[in-house]
Amino acid sequence: MHTLTLDHITDQVVFIYLDIRCWSGRKTLQPDDLGLSRAQLPPDELVSLGDKRLLDPNALNVFTSLRSAARRACLEVGIRFLGGFLVPLTHSAELLAQLTQLEQRFNTARDAFLQHFDALVEEWITAHPRWEPLIRSALVPADHVAARLRFAAQVMQLKTPVATAGAHPGLAQAVGGLAETLFREVSQLAADTLENSFLGREQVTRRALRPLQTIHDKLAGLAFLDVRVRPVVRAIEQQLALLPAQGPIQGRDLDALRGFLAIAENPFRLQAHGAQLLASDGTPSRQEGVSLQTPAIGPESAVTRPQPASQTATEHQPTRSASPAPIVAELVDDDCGCFF
């Protein structure tokens, strides 16, 4: 068993940092804005007056939406790391192309916003004529706003610092926790998918498979972080291959997908599932006669947590099963009475 280090992954990943700034369109509310003196108010450590909006906040939604889109794009293939994202080299070119497109859209929206900035302010004042002095007293020029609307993505290759740079455990600890971060982020996506697209449904369309494909692609791209990941990737591939080529997904196929998501929505169960598949040579088994309804998940303390593993994919490469079998949950004797 080897501890994951930056040297193990440096030639397989790039680090992407998003420098995206969105102007809030607000200024801090002052006592004199309300005709009050400081002495009439409680001390600052007790209360805050909040902010005043200088224009319609809906005019700024496009910028926050594009920022969210950029973060989602990074998380679809990478994981959070040191304030940015660690992205597999195999996905970096496509991701950077997406980010470039988002940057272009951001800059186009910024230019249009700045061109109409004065008009937007006047419209806001017209909508709130009683508070015109309050708004005008806080106005800033368009150049000030332009400097606070920024979209940039920086990409770099990470490298372990030389010994003469000084030793500190922080980087090693961050790298050592990458596998746990991957399982945690995938579990959040699985939980959202289960709740939004699968719970309470008797059938789903093929559109519901998109998040599952995202889960697969993210795990596949980062499988080198932990040996338990690759068996889960193969299990997803096997189950997706069993689905009908067209039409709704229902019955046993739907139950199998829902069963997998019920496992994957908890990072500790997902790790245990990967370890079980690894121990059985990566082949999921089908239990005849078991209806895979979504399990009732007990409190986190009721879940048996495996000891964190920092194995790398170089330790063991399980062989691929000759006959595909669907992902299922296996019933185990546990306090929460869940299917695993």
- pLDDT surpasses 60 at 283: no
- pLDDT at residue 34, as a whole number: 72
The predicted model scores a pTM of: 0.75
Q: What is the pLDDT of residues 56-103, one digit of tens each?
A: 999 999 999 999 999 999 999 999 999 999 999 999 999 999 999 999
Neighbours of 117 (CB within 10 A): 20
Q: Could you tell me the pLDDT band of residue 337, with boundaries at 50, 70 and 90?
A: very low
> In Å, how far from its chain's centre is CA 49?
34
Q: Could you tell me the pLDDT band of residue 330, with boundaries at 50, 70 and 90?
A: very low
- pLDDT at residue 328, as a whole number: 37
> In Å, how far from its chain's centre is CA 302?
26
- pLDDT at residue 333, as a whole number: 33
Percent of the chain with pLDDT over 70: 77
> In Å, how far from its chain's centre is CA 42?
41
- pLDDT surpasses 50 at 232: yes
Q: What is the mean pLDDT of residues 311-329?
A: 39
- pLDDT at residue 311, as a whole number: 41
- pLDDT at residue 33, as a whole number: 67
- pLDDT at residue 313, as a whole number: 39
- pLDDT at residue 308, as a whole number: 41
Provide the 8-state DSSP code for 88.
Answer: E
Instruction: Kindly state the helix (H) or strand (E) to which residue 204 belongs, with its residue range.
Output: strand 203-204
Of 99, 104, 110, give the one whose Cα is nearest residue 69. 99
Are 227 and 298 in contact by the 8 Å Cβ rule? The answer is no
Strand spans (E) along 109-205? 150-156, 203-204
> In Å, how far from its chain's centre is CA 57?
26
Q: What is the mean pLDDT of residues 115-136?
A: 94
For 56, the token pair is 């319609």
Q: What is the pLDDT of residues 287-308, one digit of tens each?
A: 332 223 333 333 333 333 334 4
Q: What is the mean pLDDT of residues 214-220?
A: 96
Higher pLDDT, 156 or 296: 156
What is the chain's length?
A: 340
